[in-house]
Structure 1
Amino acid sequence: MKVTDSGSYSQISQNDDTSPPSPPPEFGDGMAWVSGGKIFVRNPAEGAKKATLTPCKEIQIYINGLPMTSRIEVCQEDVIEVKPLSHTTQGHIKILISPDKMSAFLDIKKACISSYQLVDCPPTNNLLLVAEEKKDFVFNETYETLIDILKKNNVTYGINSIAIRSIIKNQPEGMLLVAKGLQPGVTLDDSIEPIYEKRKITDNQDLAETIDFKELYNIPSVTTGDVLVRKMPGKEGSPGITVTNTACKAKAPKVISLLSGLGVKITDNGLEAIATSNGLPHVKLANTKCIISIDPILNLPSDVNLETGNIRFNGHVSIKGSVENEMNVSASGNITIAKIVTGCQITAGGDVTIKGNIVNSDITGGGFIVICNTIKPLLYELLEAMEDLFILANLMLEKLETKKLIIFGCILMSLIEKRFPNFYNLIDRITHTFKEVDLKLLGTYGEILQKAVAKLTGINILQFHTASEYQSLLTSLTNFSYYIESLLTSHSVVNINIALNSVIKSSGNVIVSSGCFNTHIIAKGSVTVNGIVRGGIIQAQDNVFIKQIGSERGTKSIVMVAEGKRIKINQAFDGVTVQIGNCSRTIDRPMQNLLIAPDEDGFLQFFNF
């Protein structure tokens, strides 16, 4: 038998040491088998069947020089030639660049040579040839050739040498990152910073102290001249470099324009929004527009209670519900309350209108003026003391040789201890008065006053390093005193329905619709009660009109007006005391349509009208 593998022929004899093993003798039929990639055949016994071969497509078989295409009988004398087929799949190396040209990749697919060889089969009469595939991958690139490929594709920046050497060493396939550009710097867009904030704990609330739950919420409100919003202009990032070594511009910053709404003006440089009125600020950011406005009225649709906290607002306040026990409402403008007020303090810079009943409460209209009148004498006393201190301290400073080394505050403290023993007592009285009034109604002047008193308290005086620092504070307080004088002529109106066991104050007039009981009314203007007065005191700087005062049981009621003013009463019971200037008189019997005025001698007379 002659057998050829891959085009070579070899003679196998029975006596050859390399002869393949013979099939078992009990088989009489011809046999064919595969061993080591070669086909072997044994002839059949006489009269038995010959062996057959069935080809496979991966191996080309030649029988006696003729290609085998189908099943065929073979014998031991045939020359069988085995020619395995092979084919090569071409590989590739592609350069892929990201759309932003910031990354470059090598897409590697290695060439593959596929070859086949026969699978060993045991002796059988009908041999079905089976081939197995063998693959060999080829990658012949070097570091230099890969760099050259990148350069030919314009990739010259940010090449990762370590990554390329790793490719040469490990010969991986797939998409591999080999170059990264320099990203542009981060672009900062225009940003908006609200200067006001809604805070849960007020600035002066020390967390270590007992928390007043009525003061946990602070409704943001502003006064004229306050900066509402500040714009920080954006900045374009530094340019980057692509893998093709071209400049890459950073993203342009988003530009936001400040637009003024009601009660707001924008500065000429477009960077700040300034309040032109008091009220509740609103900021609406829509894409590239920031609209800032001020609502002069704070509208509260429900009650004022622990849930809302105390209300302190620069502007007008309108409350649709009630004000519950021990809550405070203060506003620099007008206050309107639709329902009852119980055990509260209501202070308005302007008018007050309360449509419901008032019980055990303090109501103040024209609070700014009331506060000014309260602190005015203390302020003038402080200014006088500060001016004297300033003069004496400067005289002492002039006598000192080393003036530059002397802290002005040291001189002040020395003078206070020796020449002004009551100075600290005055500061204590002012501090106590501040706690009794709502300085928020004074706006920025309230802050100036608090800071001034703080600087004049105890060792804080040492913070005045120079005379000019002390003089600056003195000037600020003097300007505030002038401001007070300019506003003391303004008047407010307090308009209420019913008051019980309350105190009503107004820098102007007070109007009572139904009545007041055991209530103290203090008005810089006139008082009009279109109902009943039972007990209490009514004090007015102007005329007073009362529909009915006193009671049949002789409830003690007092009406007081300034000299030269008049008191008119539709119905008065005995026991009512009336006073005009320093003259007073008690009504000793029920009277109607009563006009009370002094006669030429200054004695009070009762007239009918």
Structure 2
Amino acid sequence: MEREVFNGSTIDECIEKACNKYNVLKEDIKYEVIEVKNGIFKKKASIAVEIVDKSENKESENKKDGTIQILDGKIVVKDPVEGGKSATIVVPKNIGVKVNDKDVKDSSEVCSSSNIEVVFQEIEKPERRINISTSPDKMNAYISISYINKKVYKLKDAESSNKVVLESEVLRVEKPPVYTQAEILDALKASGVTYGILEENLSKCNSDKEIVDMLIAQGMKVENDEDDEVEFKFDVRGNNKFQENENGKIDFKSIGFVNAVDEGSVLAIRHIGKEGHNGKDIFGNEIKKKNGKEIKINIGEGCEFKDENTVVSTRKGEPIYSGNKISVIAIHEVNSDVDLKTGNIKFVGDVFIHGSVSESMKVESEHNVKIDQNVQNAIVSASGNIFIEKNAIFSNVYGGGEDVFVLKQLEFLNTIDVNIKNLLEAVEQVKHYNMHGKASTDGQILKVLLEGKFRLVPRLCEKFIDICDREENSDIISLFKARLIGMGPLSIESLDELTQVTSLCEDRVSNLKSMLSVPVDVSVGYCQNSKIESSGNIFITGKGEYISDLTAKNNVIFTNDNSIARGGVIKAGNEVKCGVVGSIGGVSTKVQVEKHGNIYAEIAYQNTIFAIGNKEYVVENPCKGIHVYVNKDDELIVDKLLL
């Protein structure tokens, strides 16, 4: 009899070590506790186990107990003699055992006549799997391959003993065959993948290693034709930008006028778009490319083709791009004053005057006008921008050409239309409350209202006739005369006749709006007793204005904070920004914008009128830091500080 010591953290751990070493159950262990320590940080236990000599045990077993021996994977059972114990098999979870057709779990006693069946957990045959997946755009295919080997088990041999724990061991391993390239190609074909198979990755599949989502086929991406492009060598937008100095301050005198080119200058280059190619997906379907857009360059006057893709100027002038056509507009330069010697100037292109425009002279251009000196008691009109370096005195300046006249008509017609509609509502109210008696006709009621509350309507009509008497306005002028002026209202039998007038106003307004072109700007250093109108902006770049009427579709900007606006009317659609408005002596000056506009002023003196839409505010005491606007509650707000 031998004793062996086993150490561990606990008694149970020591016993488990002994059972594992001698392949016996816990209840078959005979042991003596040698030491048990339960410290705070460390636990320790030791047991002494009695070990029976195997030869002696065998001898006693042969004499008494039944035995089990596993030899060459077969179970051999010997029955016990009288007084001996039956042999016992211990069954682990990974082995299935039936004794006499009954499943055995944990352990079972057996004898020589017992029918013992042992079943191992193993697959029927080795397996291999292949999976082909494709991307949603049908441009990529991926392959996954897995191999599952079959392991054939047998019982591990064990020496004769009364109790034996069954153990399995691998008898042989059966592997599935490795996929060949031909088989992989067949699998791809079965999935519909026929194009773009990657040979390099296909060769990587010739092994028994697992492959997960490896790219096996890739389509050819379509490459669309590139569009032709035209590289313009000048600003085709006509969007002249302000220049800024190094301090970031805007130079309002730099409003872009003519960017002239010389003869032979390259104006545009056409770059032919690169030709693409069709694509093909992994299923062999062709993907058609998109054809590129071919661009044809059209040219007008003042330019020619240097070659089929290059346009050059044939003269000095201003390059423009309009109506999908490149042209070079000639520049007319006057190297003196415009006076009786030069005569009036009327030119289709740009006009540069390196002097002044003298008294009673007239300058007209269908493009831009630039005057280096003054305009004195003269008229300057242009369809494009106007730049007057110095002063405009007793002069009329019209920027925007026909657009200025169109805007004037729009203003009259919109105002007349609104007033007539209000007039119609007033007539209906009078009739509803029977204020004039049942005997009064619609015409009589209209006549009374037009002579009273709505007396502005006939005046507006008369002014429209005076200023806008053209053939295209003949129908509406006839209606104004017949229905709204003088004794005309008395001839009206029904209000429907006046409704016809509002419909005609609305139609004319719609037509006029369609005639408007790109807004243009007027820039003047100083103006006095002058009239300046612009379809875009007006910039006063010098000391200001005196008793002048300034009207701009967009903004009126005094670029110097200390510039003066004294007397006259300043009117804009969106914004007026000025320096000093009015004077200590109380010169009446009116600054007006439309309903949603803003007015800014550094200083304003008494008798200055600020108007937003139909709301007005009269300055009673000098003030500074003024901002005038209408808030969301439709109230006129004047933010200011007393001077």
Normalising by the smaller structure, the TM-score range is 0.3 to 0.5
TM-score (norm: length of structure 1): 0.36
Provide TM-score, normalisation by structure 2. 0.34
